[in-house]
Amino acid sequence: MNQIIHASPKVRKFARQLGADISQLKGSERNGRITEDDVRNFIKNQIKQQENPPKKSIKDEKKKLEFDHSEFGEIEVTQMPRIKRLAAPNLSESWRTIPHVTHHDEADVTELESFRKNLKDNFTGEKKKITPLAFIIKALVNSLKKFPHFNCSIKDEESYELILKKYFHIGIAVDTEHGLMVPKIRNADSKKIEDLSIELKDISEKCRNLKIDKKEFFGGSMTITSLGGIGGTFFTPIINPPEVAILGIGKIVERSKNLMLPLSLSYDHRVVNGADAARFCNELKDNLGENFAYKLSL
């Protein structure tokens, strides 16, 4: 059944002159009657679409595989864990929009490790088990105090206003069977080393048991991601927006009788430059080394 087009001869002629297919138009008047304004608006929209074609989704832009994987052998299709599915868009957006640069360095933690392993309870004389990460958190906070632009976020992408944070909430990347989670250690500057160690264990357990509040993943100053318990030296951690830097920690290695901690500092080059990153790492190394700033916070 042919569609009835409600338009006057004058409007039809006007449409032909402009090269508009009147059958594609929707009239704005009663019973769908087409007016000259409807024709004009149709032409304007066509011009806009030609100048600004709709963006293809990432899925559309992906090249179709010429051959299916199953043609080469046995395969299994599984669903990515929920936490990883939730994190994937944020990681992609971070890598796509933030100009990442990674500064690699090493900190001599020989004295720190000796100090940590010889800590004893004043009353029982038993050795205290404190994770190295607690000391690293304290050293990082002291570095952030000296370099406050590492503890900020970009407020506006157009004006590039910066939000300078007066608090010190350190994100900790926790590896779980569900995927990587990054809860925050709140007000790390006001907590003792031993308290930080206890809290680290507590939030890690909450993450692994999916019992942590969603709010605890937001409002951070800077994130630490550690591969020390697994292995490896240097890597390029992806910034956790809206933060502007992230500190990667490798496995402590012995070199010339000294214990060296690999450091990988990724930073947002819009906010932090290479000289800033080098100075920040130097400060961090001092705080982890002979300065023993962490001794004052036991």
CA 13 to mean position of chain CA atoms:
58
90 contacts: CB under 8 Å, gap ≥ 6: 241
CB atoms within 10 A of CB 209: 10
CB atoms within 10 A of CB 262: 20
If you ran DSSP here, which 8-state letter would residue 108 be given? E
Cα R_g (the chain), whole angstroms: 29
What distance in Å separates the CA atoms of residue 247 and residue 169, rounded to the nearest whole number? 14
Q: Is the peptide bond before 242 cis (omega within 30 degrees of 0)?
A: yes
Q: Is 103 a catalytic residue?
A: no
What distance in Å separates the CA atoms of residue 203 and residue 183, rounded to the nearest whole number? 7
Comparing C-alpha atoms, which of 279, 264, 272 is closest to residue 223? 264
CB atoms within 10 A of CB 274: 11
CB atoms within 10 A of CB 178: 15
Active site residues: 269
